Structure 1
Amino acid sequence: MTANQLNGFTGRLLAAPGDIADQVRFFSRLPVPDRFGNPQAMPAFERGAGVVPLAGLLIGLLPAFTLWLGLTLSLPPLSAAILAIIVQLFLTGALHEDGLADVLDGFWGGMTRERRLEIMKDSRVGSYGVLGLVASLILKTSLLAGLAESASPVMSPGIAALLYLAAFPVSRGPMVWLWHRLGNARASGLSHDAGRPDRLSALSAAGLSVAVGVIPIAFVTSGGAILGLILAFAVAFACASVARRKIGGQTGDVLGACQQCCELAYLLGLVMVL
């Protein structure tokens, strides 16, 4: 490692707390004190996107706690799962879910690249978006309920909540990789204005996702964790391939759709093995 690379790495470590605060503020509605980061400025995604999984970990704490509390209070697993997802949607402002709906409308509602981008920019939601979003939420609810049902006798409510929590950072690492990998499909828009993560940020995000994703190995099963990670990154590759073919790059909506699909993939891997 050269002196410049070492200095750059040290600078990233020193900037990490502020970057995490900026990412939490950007990707959620959690109140972040002004002394952490700059609430008025766009986060430094080129450097700071590497800690997006850690921001996801913080965002997931309250939904995971909600799942644990519901199971501890002997709520039916389905009810506990629904409450946890409601909290998740509230905290994120359904940011990524909105991206998923827009991508489904645009990719399969338009016949040309220009028309697809136009549809995705439209604030209205069409039939593809509605049906896809409903299907996604139903699948996520059923997977989380299946994970919660495994809390007894296989594992405790706390372990079930921990596995759910792991899905938050795991799903965001592949999203950052796609963000780095694909160029912007538009010459304007939020994704264009935010800039693209550099290679070190993409590697950092992927590494953090893998590190958190293997947590289930220590508690329940190695097979579920490994399968979930494989599925999550495979889905990210698939999202990148489809986005490149449909619109020639990525947008903020594509990133949101990728996160949602990777989250479902990781939960699917866990539940399939459990």
Structure 2
Amino acid sequence: MNQGMQAVAAAFQFLSRFPVKAQLDYTPELFRKSTRYYPLVGAAIGAVVWCGAVAASYLLPPLPAAVLILALWVALTGGLHLDGWMDTADGLLSYRSRERMLEIMKDSRVGAMGVLACVLILLLKTSLIYSLLTGGWPPLVLLLPPVWSRWFMVHAMASWPMARGKEGLAGKNFNDMEKRHSLAAVPGAVILTGVAAAMFPLLGIGDFTLLQAGLAWLLLPIAAWAVGTWAAQRMTRKLGGLTGDTYGALNEGLETVMLLVLVIIQYR
């Protein structure tokens, strides 16, 4: 297997539960190279969620369909990013010192704030998916949030320091990330977005208007960058940098923000 395919396999093995059978030597260099394919992993997750949404919305009423769609979405990642969301909530919402926050986030046990944050984000995501289904929008719109949330993870790795230096999985493997790694992930995200946009006329756009479709395709990447930057800066001020948990939290939060943007466009 050549280096490019190894990087693709590493991205899928690390970020998803797709059955990618490959024996890889996980070096820091391979981890860094694999980040350019994170949007591709997001697209694969989004594509499966899209197909699941088509089937669920055809067979079931909107509310149970929305719950099953979200369950599929979480299962495809093995709950990896949701775990980071809970750990980050436990740490940041403890309002302790920086050192104590990092210590809390490192604890494998989930606290009250983590449970509350998990319940609330799952409820919000379910309600947003339900709103999109009942609003007549095609399930294809679910393809893009996983793409751009994972691009921002790469951007965050390259743009903000590691809170623990070279400690932990993220510190060992992503500590030397540079802007070029973030830029290398942009073309893939843009191309995947263009492919999804080109599919709309072929599959039908439901109750979408062309203006709404254009706004969605334009605003989702902007929202991911703007909200992600704000959140990463806030986390960095509190923690002195980012951690593997905060990357997962950023992914979960940005997916939710982009679903919220879609619902706002839908109902305006």
TM-score by length of 1: 0.84
- 2:97 corresponding residue in structure 1: 112
**What code does the residue aligned with 1:189 have?**
G
1:1-80 equivalent positions in 2, closer than 5 A:
15-34=3-22, 38-39=23-24, 41-42=26-27, 44-73=30-59, 75-80=60-65
| CA distance, structure 1, for counterparts of residue 94 and residue 191 of structure 2 | 38
Question: Among 89, 99, 103, which residue is 2:74 paired with?
Answer: 89
Once residues 57 and 216 of structure 1 are traced to their aligned partners in structure 2, the CA distance between those partners, rounded to angstroms, is 9
User: Which residue of 168, 181, 204 maps to 1:189?
Assistant: 168
Give the structure 2 partner of residue 163 of structure 1: 141
- Say if 1:217 and 1:41 are closer, same or farther in 2 by CA, change over 3 A: closer
The answer (yes or no) to whether the contact 2:149–2:224 under 8 Å persists in 1 is: yes
> How big is the shift at 1:145?
1.2
SS of structure 2 residue aligned to 1:60: helix
1:189/1:211 CA distance change after superposition, 3 Å: same
The question of whether the paired residues in 1 share the 8 Å contact of 2:85 and 2:248 is answered with yes
2:247 aligns to what?
255
Shift of 1:215: 6.0
1:18 alignment partner AA: Q
Which whole-Å CA distance do the structure 1 matches of 2:96 and 2:225 have between them?
28
Q: SS at the partner of 2:93?
A: helix
Residues 1:214 and 1:260: Cα distance change in structure 2 (over 3 Å):
farther
Aligned residue pairs total: 250
5+ residue gaps, structure 2: 201-207
Counterpart pick for 1:138 among 123, 126, 135: 123
Does 2:254 correspond to 1:268? no
CA contact (8 A) 1:168 1:263 kept: yes
Q: Is contact 1:171–1:209 with CA below 8 Å preserved after alignment?
A: no
Rounded to whole Å, the distance in 2 between the matches of 1:76 and 1:123 is: 37
Is this contact kept in 2: 1:216–1:222, CA < 8 A? no
| SS of the residue 1:123 aligns to | coil
In structure 2, the partner of 1:177 is 155
Whole-Å separation in 2 of the counterparts to 1:40 and 1:88: 28
Alignment partners' CA distance in 2, 1:227 and 1:25:
30
Q: Which runs of 5 or more residues in structure 1 are unaligned?
A: 1-13
- Cα deviation for residue 62 of structure 1 reads 2.4
Percent identical: 36
Counterparts of 1:231-242 in structure 2, within 5 Å, are 231-242=223-234
Offset at residue 210 of structure 1 (A): 4.1
Q: How many Å apart are 1:203 and its aligned residue?
A: 1.0
Residue 88 to residue 40, structure 1, CA distance change in 2 (3 Å):
farther
Could you tell me whether the CA contact under 8 Å between 1:57 and 1:168 is conserved in 2?
Answer: yes
Computed over aligned residues only, the root mean square deviation of the Cα atoms, in angstroms, reads: 2.0
Q: CA deviation at 1:216?
A: 6.5
The residue matched to 1:29 in structure 2 has which SS? coil
For normalisation by structure 2, the TM-score amounts to: 0.86
Q: Distance in 1 between matches of 2:218 and 2:57?
A: 26
Shift, 1:39, TM fit: 3.7
Preserved CA contact (<8 Å) 2:148 2:221: yes
The alpha-carbon deviation at position 267 of structure 1 amounts to: 1.2
**Higher mean displacement: 229-238 or 245-254:** 229-238
Q: Deviations over 1:86-144 (max 9, x none)?
A: 11222211110110111111012042110000000011111211111111111111111
Which has the higher relative contact order, 1 or 2, with Cα contacts under 8 A spaced 6 or more apart? 2
Question: Does the 8 Å contact 2:163/2:242 carry over to 1?
Answer: yes
Task: After superposing the two structures, state which structure 1 stretch, 95-104 or 191-200, moved more.
Answer: 191-200
